[in-house]
Structure 1
Amino acid sequence: MRLFAIRDYRHLFGAQVIALFGTGLTTVALGLLAYDLAGPRAGTVLGTALTIKMVMYVVIAPLAAAYIDRFPRRALLVGLDVIRGAVVLALPLVSEVWHIYVLIGLLQAGSAAFTPTFQAVIPDIVTDESDYTRALSASQVASTMESLLSPVLAAVALTFMTFDRLFLGTSAGFLVSALLVLSTRIPDARPSTHTKAWDKAAAGIRTLLRTPRLRGIMALNLTVAAAGSIVVVNTVNYVRDVLGGSQSDVAWMLAASGTGTLLVALVLPRVLDRIAARTVMMTGAGVLVGGTTAAAALIAAGLTAWTGTAIIWTVIGIGMALIITPTGKVLRASVSRNAIPEVFAAQFSLSHLAWLITYPVAGWLGTSAGFTLAWSVLAILAGAGATGALLLWPRHDGRGVTTAPATPAGHAPSEDRSTLAKAA
């Protein structure tokens, strides 16, 4: 495959895969740690921890993009990997719930700076349009493989070790990721057209707000977050307390969602060559609205079946992949090259703002008022996001697309103009 013939991309992809699997083990272990410390209130603890994560992402990601051109990107990525590895190593030592909150805050502050920096590096290494599309898909496949295999690996590991040992795998993953990043030749960021930090941080957000298709993606962020919160926050309590499952059963149910995402990610690259990204993403929105509605109906009817739950979790995974996978392609097609870091960081931040809304609904409302009300609210939010996307993203928006501030309104950068029709 021509894409993997690019040495620096190959190493960066390897770093992403290893770090993702480490993060996947942390996700499973964190849920079980919350259950160990708080029992039936695990949903509240996990919802709070993930809310802290989202606050860090929303606040820090734009600031990271604002200062990214002042630091060597390779050194920054390596340093953030090392910091995250050290923080995760301390998680098994916690004995109080508030310890989780402090460490999660530190861990996610590092991730909030790492992820948009990493995403913005790829277009500078993979310059061919078709290869870049496949790089986005490969990144999604890696994420979905993590979603699928990390819970499976965790389920196997939990048969002969306690969950706190899973954190060691995460820490090792971050360190190996740092070594792979260190072996690459990453170009430093192009100087931004904005000199003030706040102007840099706000530039990407302004571009998202005034570009029709990107406003649609902002609405779809809410749909993804509403559906994903059910899986991420509520699986542990639902499987343990409602279905009466074990720690391994929690991991297997999370793997069901990952399976749905993986199935889509494997076929989507060819689909995106023939079908407009808008069509694919709106289809994903419909799938997620259906999945969240089915989840709310299932719990409201008192039908606590393993098979039904696994099917709904799989459907949610499918819908999330249909929306998330094409997003990077649409972003890149809508802005000039020197604005890519700002826009990727803005999307990263605003997408997690949606999760900041939905995580407390799943965690706090789910614990205090029950899954029926919480999942019904999340289904409504998913529908609101899908409806907003349909209204905000015109079916044909090839003309009059507002790009980065450096480009006159209504004109696409020459290097990206040919891709506008594909992304629309």
Structure 2
Amino acid sequence: MAFLAFETILNSLSYDHAEKNLLLSKKTHKIIHMSQSIPSPLKNPSYRNLFCAQVTSLLGTGLTTIALALLAYDMAGDKAGQVLGTALAIKMVAYVCVAPIAGGVAHLLPRKTTLFILDIIRAGLILTLPFLSTPLQLYGVIFLLNVCSACFTPLFQSIIPELLPNEERYTKALSYSRLAYDLENMLSPTLAALLLTLWSFDTLFMLNGVTFALSALLVLITTLPKGAVTERESSILKNITFGIKAYLTTPRLRGLLALHGAVACGGAMVIVNTVLYIRGYLGLGESETAMVMMASGAGSMLVALCLPRLLTTLPDRPMMILGGSLIASALLWGMIMPGLIGIVIIWFLLGAGWSLIQTPAARVVNRSAASGDRAAYFSANFALSHAAWFMGYSLAGWLGATIGLSQTFSILACLAFLLTLWALKLWPTNDPVVMEHTHQAHTHDHPHRHNDHHHEHDHEGWEGPEPHVHEHRHKEVRHAHPFVIDAHHVKWPQR
């Protein structure tokens, strides 16, 4: 019933405005009708379970973020900011370093069992936090906790396209995921404040442990499709580096990475410097600070609600370039250091801009990956996007503290503009999925089936049932099909 209510609210928010304008044109009516007729992803029981698991774990993680700041203050007093900053830096290091390794070996592991075990480990680690007494212990637990998250999240993301092969339903699912993140960011502080009136902050850690356990249970009862065969060689080093290399070889993904950098410029300014701007520069209180933070979440949610309808007729690239331009323009406006109303509008525009990029980003990754390589691609996207966020946090924090907020706005605006322009250059305007290309003759050895044009070769009878592994030769061939970087396509075709 909760999910039906969630779906009803989303549909009403998404389409009420459009319904009022049906008379504008028959074309508009047709587009809206097509969008509304897309079956909800929440009607898929497997996706519904995983979405519920995501929401519960997000809620618990939001509570832990608040409790972690209080725990740091208990441990270090006036140096709590240093402890918390170090813990967040360790989180980013774990994400950037571990995610590619996890993506490289994910195809060797049973997916449901892996997700279940990672959730149980995260629940156990969270429950140790109330018993820690030194910052060093905290750093160790934070590192292990985020190692698990770096393994869990990309694998989780790579499964969703298999559950929702229809791109419109998948886009709706991405919109719901974006809404879940934004609602968590907006509601967790309020919920934490209410709970802290009844219990100590240690209880928030306990609740997060329960949410991870619930997530594990939901994963356990979910039916997941069998993973596709990964046609890669068995070398551990090649598997670990495959995702990053393939990601950086794909032009549209290089453009996406540049746009992740633009998102990091705007997002880091919001997360790092909101308190400094509202409390330090404007001299206002906590309620105004919360209102400004909510403005960015409101902008992101509004875009996430509208995007599924827009993306039925518009390509991803122009919408995401618009997002980068919006971020850069809003940051440039911030250089004049406006009052409360002005900064609320700027934060709203920043939220809208990063949602224009982050909501469809998974579509771009999914379109660029073979089914057996999705986990590696999503892991690479996870690692590289968090590397961009690490740089954004560092710049926003250090520049804001040393040269002032106005100069920080201007530098980050210039950087966001340059990154958006770079994305325009890296991501071709004409970016077809199906491409004609030539394979040079070569011999290699990897697991494979014979249901495609790459494996037309003779057998002697000893090779065994498919998928099987044996050295085989590929003859030179020129053909066309959806092109991705994989074991058979290691370079992007030249136009």
TM-score, with normalisation over the residues of structure 1? 0.85
Corresponding residue number in structure 2 for 1:263: 302
Give 2:300's aligned amino acid.
T
Distance (whole Å) between structure 2 residues aligned to residue 238 and residue 133 of structure 1: 35
Which sits farther off after the overlay, 313-322 or 235-244?
A: 235-244
Describe how 1:1-400 pairs up with structure 2 within 5 A: 1-31=39-69, 33-34=71-72, 44-158=82-196, 163-194=201-232, 195-239=234-278, 241-242=280-281, 251-298=290-337, 305-398=339-432
Distance (whole Å) between structure 2 residues aligned to residue 12 and residue 411 of structure 1: 35
Q: Is the 8 A contact 2:182 2:297 kept in 1?
A: yes
Distance (whole Å) between structure 2 residues aligned to residue 375 and residue 239 of structure 1: 15
Q: Is the 8 A contact 2:70 2:201 kept in 1?
A: yes
Post-superposition offset of 1:320 = 1.0
SS of residue paired to 1:273: coil
SS of residue paired to 1:89: helix
Post-superposition offset of 1:220 = 0.5
Distance (whole Å) between structure 1 residues aligned to residue 346 and residue 67 of structure 2: 23
- Give per-residue Cα distances to partners, 1:229-256, cap 9 Å, x unaligned: 1222334555555556666765554333
SS of residue paired to 1:274: coil
Distance (whole Å) between structure 2 residues aligned to residue 249 and residue 383 of structure 1: 29
Which sits farther off after the overlay, 375-384 or 248-257?
A: 248-257
SS of residue paired to 2:324: helix
SS of residue paired to 2:223: coil
Post-superposition offset of 1:21 = 1.5
SS of residue paired to 1:381: helix
Give 1:149's aligned amino acid.
L
SS of residue paired to 2:184: helix
The answer to which structure has the higher strand fraction is 2
SS of residue paired to 2:125: helix
Corresponding residue number in structure 1 for 2:34: none
Post-superposition offset of 1:184 = 0.6
2:482 to 410, 413, 416: 413
Aligned CA-pair RMSD: 3.2
Distance (whole Å) between structure 2 residues aligned to residue 273 and residue 223 of structure 1: 25
Distance 1:151 1:384, change over 3 A: farther
SS of residue paired to 1:191: coil
Q: Is the 8 A contact 1:159 1:248 kept in 2?
A: no
Post-superposition offset of 1:265 = 0.7
Q: Is the 8 A contact 1:229 1:362 kept in 2?
A: yes
Post-superposition offset of 1:2 = 4.1
Q: Is the 8 A contact 2:273 2:397 kept in 1?
A: yes
The answer to which structure has the higher helix fraction is 1
Q: Is the 8 A contact 2:100 2:380 kept in 1?
A: yes
Count of residue pairs the alignment pairs up = 409
Post-superposition offset of 1:211 = 2.0
Give 1:269's aligned amino acid.
P
Distance (whole Å) between structure 1 residues aligned to residue 95 and residue 129 of structure 2: 20
Post-superposition offset of 1:112 = 0.4
Identity %: 42
Q: Is the 8 A contact 2:104 2:242 kept in 1?
A: no
Q: Is the 8 A contact 1:22 1:169 kept in 2?
A: yes
Q: Is the 8 A contact 2:434 2:482 kept in 1?
A: no
- Give per-residue Cα distances to partners, 1:4-41, cap 9 Å, x unaligned: 22111110110011111122223344445556766776
Distance (whole Å) between structure 1 residues aligned to residue 190 and residue 161 of structure 2: 32
Corresponding residue number in structure 2 for 1:420: none
Distance (whole Å) between structure 1 residues aligned to residue 381 and residue 401 of structure 2: 30
Which sits farther off after the overlay, 221-230 or 22-31?
A: 22-31
Post-superposition offset of 1:258 = 1.5
Distance (whole Å) between structure 1 residues aligned to residue 390 and residue 424 of structure 2: 23
Give 1:363's aligned amino acid.
G
Post-superposition offset of 1:165 = 4.0
Unaligned ranges ≥5, structure 1: 416-424
Q: Is the 8 A contact 1:228 1:316 kept in 2?
A: yes
Unaligned ranges ≥5, structure 2: 1-38, 440-447, 449-453, 455-476, 485-495
